[in-house]
C-alpha cells in the first residue's frame, strides 16, 4: 500500500498493526478522567456535605452514595475482568449496587472515593501499557477486547457522573 492509497478492508489489519498508537492510548487514559466536555468524578463528589450523601431527591431514584458506590463497584469489576484470569462473573444487581441509600459513615464515603480513584489509575495505566494489545480479546472473556472495556468504563462513569450532578442540583448542593 502506498502513502496515497486508502486502506481497503483487507489492508485494515496491516494498518492497525503498524500505526503508532501512543496518541490513542494517551487519549484513552485522559478519557477515564474526562473533564473537557463536562465535570469529572472528582468535581462531582467534592464538598458534598455528609448529611446529603444518603438523600434520594424527590423524583429521582438514587442518592449520591448509591451512585458513587455503584460507580466504584462497576469499575472495580471491569478492572478485575481485564487483569484477573480467574475472574468470576458477579450477580446483577446485588454485586453492583449498595444495599442502602446512605453510607455507613463518612469513612465509608471516603473509602469508596479512594478506591474509585485507585482503580481509575489502574485502568489508566492499563491503557498505556504497551505490552497490552488494546484490540486483543481478553483471553478469559467471551469476545470482549481491552479497548471495549476501557470505553465501557469511560461511558458508564460519564453517565453516572451526570446523574450525580443532577442529584446534587436537586439537593441544592451543586456549585
Quote the pTM value.
0.87
| Cβ-based neighbours of 116, under 8 Å, separated by 6 or more | 41, 68, 71, 72, 75
Would you say residue 1 lies in a domain?
no
Would you say residue 131 lies in a domain?
yes
Task: State in Å, rounded, how far the first CA of the chain is from the last one.
Answer: 54
Would you say residue 7 lies in a domain?
no
Would you say residue 71 lies in a domain?
yes
Among 170, 159, 162, CA closest to 55: 170
Please write the tens of the pLDDT for every residue from 81-131.
999 999 999 999 999 999 999 999 999 999 999 999 999 999 999 999 999
CATH number at residue 46: 1.20.120.450
- Structural domain boundaries, residue 68: 22-170
Would you say residue 112 lies in a domain?
yes
Alpha-carbon distance of 88 to 83, in angstroms, equals 12
Domain count, the chain: 1
Please write the tens of the pLDDT for every residue from 9-55.
444 454 454 468 999 999 999 999 877 768 999 999 999 999 999 99
Whole-number pLDDT of residue 19? 64
Amino acid at each position: 500500500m502506498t502513502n496515497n492509497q486508502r486502506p481497503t478492508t483487507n489492508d485494515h489489519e496491516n494498518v492497525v498493526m503498524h500505526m503508532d498508537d501512543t496518541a490513542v492510548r494517551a487519549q484513552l487514559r485522559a478519557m477515564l478522567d474526562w473533564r473537557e466536555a463536562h465535570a469529572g468524578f472528582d468535581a462531582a463528589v467534592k464538598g458534598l456535605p455528609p448529611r446529603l450523601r444518603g438523600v434520594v431527591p424527590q423524583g429521582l431514584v438514587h442518592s449520591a452514595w448509591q451512585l458513587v458506590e455503584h460507580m466504584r463497584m462497576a469499575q472495580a469489576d471491569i478492572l478485575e475482568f481485564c487483569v484477573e484470569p480467574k475472574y468470576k462473573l458477579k450477580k446483577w444487581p446485588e454485586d453492583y449496587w449498595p444495599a442502602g441509600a446512605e453510607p455507613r459513615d463518612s469513612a465509608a464515603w471516603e473509602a469508596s472515593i479512594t478506591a474509585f480513584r485507585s482503580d481509575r489509575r489502574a485502568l489508566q495505566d492499563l491503557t498505556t501499557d504497551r505490552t497490552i494489545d488494546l484490540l486483543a480479546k481478553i483471553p478469559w472473556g467471551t469476545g470482549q477486547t481491552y479497548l471495549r472495556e476501557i470505553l465501557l468504563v469511560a461511558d458508564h462513569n460519564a453517565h453516572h457522573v451526570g446523574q450525580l450532578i443532577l442529584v446534587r442540583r436537586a439537593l441544592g448542593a451543586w456549585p
